[in-house]
Amino acid sequence: MPLIEIPLIGLGTLENKDPSKTPASIAKAIELGYQHIDTAQLYFNEEIVGKGIQQSGISRDEIFLATKVSPVFLQPDDVKRTTRESIDKLGVEYLDLLYIHWPAETYEPQSTLDAFNEVLEEGLTKHIAVSNFTPPLLDEASAISKAPLIANQVEMHPLLRQNEMLEYVKKHDIYLVAYSPLAQGQVFEIPEVQEVAERRGISEAQVSLAWLLSKDNVIAIPKATSEAHQRANLEAAEIKLAPDDIKLIDSIEDEDRIMDPYFAPDW
Ligand SMILES: NC(=O)c1ccc[n+]([C@@H]2O[C@H](COP(=O)([O-])OP(=O)(O)OC[C@H]3O[C@@H](n4cnc5c(N)ncnc54)[C@H](OP(=O)(O)O)[C@@H]3O)[C@@H](O)[C@H]2O)c1
């Protein structure tokens, strides 16, 4: 079992930054029961997401709030300055989780991780983690960091099954936080996902999320702005797929990675 418990379905917020709609949609999600919210400096929406959290009226300790330091701010002074800025924008006193967004640009393992450990010791965040790290990069980072890196947030869905990273997180008792868990809509077109959806009388989105949550140590953070999608995704946490359903999705051979910027590591 990993060190701490994190709500298994979190709310992704990439591209959710319309000042006239986003706060209400975040507040609605919280009202429906979301207790884990994922944002990032790079999404340029921390202030708007923060407004939604405040609007919901939920008490701070009932929300697991995660943000990520941009790859251009991974030098020590920038880590400290921008983490404080993120906290201010979000309108909170502390974060639950602070990620290194990508092992890229200004990332320098020793000094970046030292800075992450400092903001942790200062109480700016309760936990630290990484995103888009490969197993060797995670080995290196974990060896340097004094505090445990509790998660690796990586792209995962039926078209990117992450078998190696699944083994890794199990072995090291950390979380794999699955981003783009619906492959931004592409999972709806996969015949195997459609077959399971029909068999179980659930949506393709729910198949993808229930399949992800059938794996040890996996958390999923689908982005949903509409109430219907938010509700359906939250319900997926209660759906248990049959072993045959899981096997069918495991057997998909097609592969597609959505997020592969020029600075991505050698996957
Ligand atoms: N660490 C990283 O580098 C990284 C990279 C990418 C993403 N992320 C995080 O992961 C989160 C999720 O990934 P994502 O935003 O790329 O894509 P995603 O969650 O795979 O897909 C989001 C899309 O699916 C739609 N959708 C959601 N629930 C649905 C449902 N039940 N039925 C039908 N359609 C549904 C959404 O529509 P509506 O909005 O209209 O509801 C939206 O268009 C991001 O928001 C972000 O927080 C992290």
Domain regions of the chain by residue span: 11-184+212-238
Tens digit of each residue's pLDDT (9 = 90 or more) over 8-44: 999 999 999 999 999 999 999 999 999 999 999 999 9
Q: Which of 182, 187, 212 to probe ligand 1 with, by most ligand atoms within 8 A of CB? A: 182
Q: Does position 1 have pLDDT exceeding 70, yes or no?
A: no
Gap from CA of 224 to ligand 1 centroid (Å):
6
Q: Which two tokens stand for residue 216?
A: 């040890």
Task: Name the DSSP letter for residue 172.
Answer: H
Residue 28's alpha-carbon distances to 9, 167, 179, 246, in angstroms, are: 15, 36, 21, 31
Contacts of 158 (CB under 8 A, 6+ apart): 183, 187, 190, 192, 193, 208, 211, 249, 252
- Find out whether the beta carbon of 219 lies less than 6 Å from any atom of ligand 1: no
Angstrom distance (rounded) from CA 186 to CA 190: 7
Residue 55's alpha-carbon distances to 25, 41, 60, 90, 101, in angstroms, are: 10, 21, 12, 12, 27
pTM metric for this prediction: 0.98
Angstrom distance (rounded) from CA 100 to CA 133: 9
Q: Residue type at 255? A: E
Residues written for the chain? 267
Q: How many CB atoms lie within 10 A of CB 189?
A: 11
Tens digit of each residue's pLDDT (9 = 90 or more) over 157-192: 999 999 999 999 999 999 999 999 999 999 999 999
Q: Residue type at 96? A: D
- Find out whether the beta carbon of 222 lies less than 6 Å from any atom of ligand 1: yes
**What is 11-184+212-238's CATH superfamily?**
NADP-dependent oxidoreductase domain (3.20.20.100)
Task: Name the DSSP letter for residue 160.
Answer: B
Q: Which atom of ligand 1 is nearest to the CA of 38?
A: 47
- Find out whether the beta carbon of 223 lies less than 6 Å from any atom of ligand 1: yes
Q: Does position 73 have pLDDT exceeding 80, yes or no?
A: yes
pLDDT of residue 121: 98
Tens digit of each residue's pLDDT (9 = 90 or more) over 106-151: 999 999 999 999 999 999 999 999 999 999 999 999 999 999 999 9
Strand partners, 69: 100
Q: Would you call 34 a catalytic residue per the annotation?
A: no
**Average pLDDT for the chain:** 97
Gap from CA of 144 to ligand 1 centroid (Å):
32
Gap from CA of 225 to ligand 1 centroid (Å):
9
pLDDT of residue 124: 98
Gap from CA of 221 to ligand 1 centroid (Å):
7
Where on the phi/psi map is residue 17: left (φ > 0), alpha (ψ -120 to 50), or beta?
alpha
